[in-house]
Amino acid sequence: MQFKSYWHDTAPRFDKGAEGPVEGRYDVAVIGAGFTGLSAALQLAKAGARVVVLESGTVGVGASGRNGGHLNNGIAHGYASAKAHLGAERAKRLYRTYDDAVDSIERIVREESIDCAFRRSGKLKLASKPGHVAALRSNFELVHAEVDPDTAFLTREELRDEIGSDAFHGAMLSKKSGMAHMGRLVTGLAEAAVRHGATIHENAVVSERVAEDGRSRIVTSRGTIAADAVLLATGAYTSEGFAHFRRRIVPVGSFILATRPLTEAEIARTLPGDRTCVTSLNIGNYFRLAPDGRLIFGGRARFSAKSDQTSDARSGAILRASLAQIFPHLAKIEIDYCWGGLVDMTQDRFPRAGFAEGVWFAMGYSGHGAQMSVQMGLILADAILGRENRNPVDGLDWPTIAGYSGKPWFLPMVGLYYRMLDRIR
């Protein structure tokens, strides 16, 4: 078993980064070379802007390469609770932005000829307990009537054609959802941005941003640049120099396994429907088949803000037990990859994007961001260019978290709370 990202290990290495020192003046500096930053850079470069991307590690090293590879439409929350929290109009706008996000990825992949195995698969939200069926059906009926007719509800019997497990009691099917090879997608976005004129500096750690004469001076470990506008796209990996955002973002570990490639018979017995799947538990699981037939199986596993080999191995053991519970016939299957990473959670689990503290920002995707991050990058690029404001969370209040400064000391208690909920509900 290898303790590294399957997506990174099976994708071509981005090799078009700029050599030499970080220097010069740009229209826009993007901090972070994940899906948000790269899609923004691509959009800006295509419009003729001089744009530089500053990445502290390598392209896609953060959450963009540490996820389950789902490109799902629909709000992760129940739609009724989203309406109650956001209001009906904003909830509808946010839902439809997720639809647009999958459309945008499909368009970019086609226009830029990115070989990332993108396809529309549909997503199953699976009822893990009999008591979850009524709430799932109620959510489906509201979504289907108000915002997304491309949905269906599947009974336990109908699920037998979709998934080879007796662990679930019904499901909501969202037909617009998709999937892709995330390593190839993030590399393809980076190459497309460079092809259209963007400059990408890897291993350029940003240590300071200083406002000077109406623009920003950005100091990195490889030099200093000036920029008229700055886009912060760092999510759970936001550095201490951006304390305003660190007090509002909680980094939470997400952990993933990839099995050996399944045989055709094993695929037919496991996921004959070949869709993305997510369970209804608070500490649930998500899974799908990779392009080479592996089962990609992930989840929170442990509420931790640490991802290293020791932490990933502990979480991997928990995931393996969950995999065996859902798919007993795969209980002893070889695991080829085990990896983890941090996702950027907000207190209410809705994303945030806009302008604050002198920078544009988009983050807080809360474990539902592989698609929305691309869309938010496009939306904020358009805002910087003075185009129509399409931001579905523009102006949404984002208070600090009481007693929190960037180190989530409370995560074990949160995990205990959700485990208790999963036992009793």
The band of 155, judged by pLDDT with boundaries at 50, 70 and 90, is very high
Does residue 202 or residue 406 have the better pLDDT?
202
Residue 374: pLDDT over 90: yes
**Within 13 Å of residue 376, how many CA atoms lie on the same side as its CB?**
31
Q: What backbone phi and psi angles, to 5 degrees, belong to 240? A: -65, -20
DSSP state of 1: -
C-alpha closest to that of 378 among 100, 119, 179: 100
Checking if the pLDDT of 363 tops 90, the result is yes
Inside any domain, residue 402: no
Segment 12-49, tens digit of pLDDT: 999 999 999 999 999 999 999 999 999 999 999 999 99
Taking each helix axis from N to C end, the angle separating 370-384 and 88-111, rounded to the nearest 10 degrees, works out to 90
User: Stretch 319-328: mean pLDDT, rounded?
Assistant: 96
Q: Is residue 409 part of a domain?
A: no
CB 279 within 8 A of CB 126: yes
Domain of residue 222 covers 6-384
Q: For the chain, how many residues are written?
A: 425
Three-state secondary-structure class, residue 111? helix
In a domain, 412, yes or no: no
Answer for the pair 361, 381: CB distance below 8 angstroms, yes or no. Answer: no
Q: What is the DSSP string of 388-421?
A: ----TTTT---PPPTT-SS--TTHHHHHHHHHHH
- Phi, psi (rounded to 5 degrees) for 193: -60, -45
User: Is 419 a residue whose pLDDT tops 90?
Assistant: no
Residue 288 lies in a domain: yes
pLDDT of the residue at 405: 82
Q: Which residue carries 């995931």 as its tokens?
A: 319
In a domain, 106, yes or no: yes
Classify residue 78 by its DSSP letter. -
Q: How far, in Å, CA of 338 to CA of 334, rounded?
A: 11
- Tell me what the mean pLDDT of segment 197-202 comes to: 98
Token output for 400 = 């600090």
Comparing 417 with 42, the larger pLDDT belongs to: 42
Q: Which token pair is 216?
A: 């920003």
Read off the pLDDT of each residue in 280-292 and give the average, rounded to a whole number.
92
Strand partners, 362: 353
Residue 304, pLDDT above cutoff 70: no
Per-residue tokens: 200: 């990408």
Q: How far is the C-alpha of 203 from the C-alpha of 105, rounded, in Å?
A: 26
Q: Does residue 419 lie within any of the structural domains?
A: no
Number of domains in the chain: 1
In a domain, 204, yes or no: yes
Mean pLDDT of the chain: 93
Annotate 145-178 with DSSP letters as a single string.
HHT-SSEEEEETTGGGGT-S-SS-SEEEEETT-E
Rounded Cα distance, 25 and 425, in Å: 56
Give the tens place of pLDDT for each residue, 78-90. Answer: 899 999 999 999 9
pLDDT of residue 226: 97
Determine the pLDDT at residue 408: 77
> What percentage of the chain's residues is helix, strand, coil (to nearest 5)?
35, 25, 40
Burial (Cβ within 10 Å: 0-12, 13-18, ≥19) of residue 249: buried
Q: What is the CATH number of the domain that holds 328?
A: 3.50.50.60
For the chain, percent of residues with pLDDT exceeding 90 = 83
pLDDT the model gives residue 202: 98
Poorest-confidence range of 32-41, 219-228, 315-324? 315-324
pLDDT at 301: 58
Residue 49 structure tokens? 């802007």
pTM (2 d.p.): 0.94
Token duo for residue 102: 């999958």
Kindly list the distances between the CA atom of residue 278 and the CA atoms of 262, 326, 337, 368, 411, in Å, as whole numbers in the listed order.
20, 12, 20, 11, 22
> Cβ(342)–Cβ(252) under 8 Å?
yes
Is 86 part of a structural domain of the chain?
yes
d(CA 114, CA 340): 25
Question: 402 Cβ partners below 8 Å, 6+ apart?
Answer: none
Please give the Cα distance from 71 to 186 (Å, whole number).
13
Give 307's pLDDT tier (boundaries 50, 70, 90): low
CA distance 175 to 181: 19
